A and B are shown apart, each in its own frame.
Chain A
Amino acid sequence: MSHVSMKVNGKEVGGEVEGRTLLVDFLREDLKMTGTHVGCDTSQCGACVVHVDGKAVKACTIFALEAEGAEVTTIEGMANADGSLGVVQAAFQEHHGLQCGFCTPGMVMAGAALLKENPKPSEAEIRQYLEGNICRCTGYHNIVKAIMAASGQDVEPPAVAAE
């Protein structure tokens, strides 16, 4: 076992890990932060996306020891200080960007990474950026719309169910 320390959502954390411990397992099992999901074994689904030193990374495809000294942001770090939903999260809720919610942590983290690089992305740019994030439920349209809305661009208002 080796000691690893890093900053997760602004807080210094540490623990004893094996060489093979994945960052996602350190987050979920050791830190009990289960917001980051694991949807596959093949590095293809993107449910586990977190930010490591500001960059979108699949937490299932990086060892905890490789994040030594890094600043890690997870879905738990996306809410505002008062606990209300952050901009991207709120847009997902408003525009029905989720159904079962399994892909959502990765989608929100990928969306937030995109908006940091490109504050006003086009629809095509959003779709291209989300290539590595798979959703079995929504059909993607509302996810794209939510990220558009989170960037402050006009989108059609969400459909309202009949009273």
Chain B
Amino acid sequence: MYAFEMERPQTIADAVAALKDEDAQALGGGQTLIPTLKQRLAMPSKLVSLHGIAQMKGVCTDDDGRICIGGATTHQQVSESAGDYPALAWLASRIGDPAVRNRGTIGGSLANNDPSACYPAAALGSGAVIVTDNREIAADDYFQGMFTTALNEGEIITEVKFPVPSHAAYMKFIQPASRFPLVAVFVAKFDDGVRVAITGASEEGVFRWGEAESALSGNFAPEAVDGLSVDPSGMIGDLHGTKEYRAHLVGVMTKRAVKAAAAGETGVSSAH
């Protein structure tokens, strides 16, 4: 690891000020950033730890009934406190392993936008709002391709607001070595339609499967997805699965997610 300074501000304002320095970078739970630093793939001059900012931690419900999660809230806290949105709490409870969940944060996960991460699927699948230190960004505008987001340099995610659907489920097909999804699908049924977000599959990162959404908005049943497919050419292909395999899994996991959501279940994680 290259050397850097560490700052530990107590307020959002102080963190934003500290991040104005050139080459300063935010530190959330460090569960992605620290391994990256070890491999010398990042070279910040200063890390600004968000861990001490009490304003950025915790889960509450706003006047519109949305679940609001502080940007520095750990996966473990979400799994314990977001019970009013069971599919979201369940998703958080299955990220990585217990030690990762005790440190890793929702803000860090969404800022990183790993093409196989779990939270991006929940945020896009729920039509969440990403709140930063200076604006609100709709999930539909936030995710801009693998490891790319609408965040500006030094901008931090302070909160994420999730509308709560009537039915939702997350189906995670695990890549057992990394514990990340090989492919996972988040399905959410709202009064005005169904959203389907897919992670782990596309070279563009998390995406909405529009065709399935239209079909499911008419008929919220697994059969509605019969005959639909995604184009393998844009899928990730690697030693864990070919493009065609991932494209196939998108359909299978979507059906399973719909079946679970319709039955009032929150999700399942499965492996090869």
* Cβ A113 vs Cβ B98 within 8 A: yes
Residue among B1, B30, B179 making CB contact with A62, cutoff 8 Å: B30
Chain A residues, Cβ within 8 Å of B243: none
Size class of A's contact patch? Answer: 20 to 34
* Cβ B103 vs Cβ A57 within 8 A: yes
A42 interfacial by beta-carbon distance below 8 Å: yes
Known contacts A2-B6, A63-B30, A132-B179, A49 near B99 by CB under 8 Å: yes
Known contacts A19-B47, A66-B51, A61 near B30 by CB under 8 Å: yes
Residues 110-146 of chain A: 1 if any B CB is under 8 Å from the residue's CB, otherwise 0? 1001100000000000000101110000000000000
A55 interfacial by beta-carbon distance below 8 Å: yes
* Cβ A57 vs Cβ B47 within 8 A: no
Minimum Cβ distance to chain A for residue B117 (Å): 15
* Cβ A61 vs Cβ B5 within 8 A: no
A22 and B27 CA atoms in complex are apart in Å by 14
Minimum Cβ distance to chain B for residue A123 (Å): 17
Query: Can you name the residue of chain B whose Cβ is closest to the Cβ of A60?
Result: B34
Minimum Cβ distance to chain B for residue A95 (Å): 22
* Cβ A19 vs Cβ B179 within 8 A: no
* Cβ B30 vs Cβ A41 within 8 A: no
Query: Can you name the residue of chain B whose Cβ is closest to the Cβ of A133?
Result: B97
Residue among B35, B47, B96, B98 making CB contact with A129, cutoff 8 Å: B98
* Cβ B4 vs Cβ A41 within 8 A: no
A65 and B8 CA atoms in complex are apart in Å by 9
A40 and B39 CA atoms in complex are apart in Å by 12
Query: Can you name the residue of chain A whose Cβ is closest to the Cβ of B34?
Result: A61
* Cβ A20 vs Cβ B35 within 8 A: no
A42 and B3 CA atoms in complex are apart in Å by 19
A156 and B97 CA atoms in complex are apart in Å by 28
B149 interfacial by beta-carbon distance below 8 Å: no
Known contacts A42-B35, A43-B31, A19 near B100 by CB under 8 Å: no
Query: Can you name the residue of chain A whose Cβ is closest to the Cβ of B4?
Result: A19
20 A–B pairs (Cβ distance < 8 Å), ordered by A: A2-B6, A19-B3, A19-B4, A20-B3, A41-B35, A42-B38, A43-B31, A43-B35, A56-B102, A61-B35, A61-B99, A62-B30, A63-B47, A63-B49, A65-B8, A66-B49, A68-B8, A131-B179, A132-B98, A132-B99
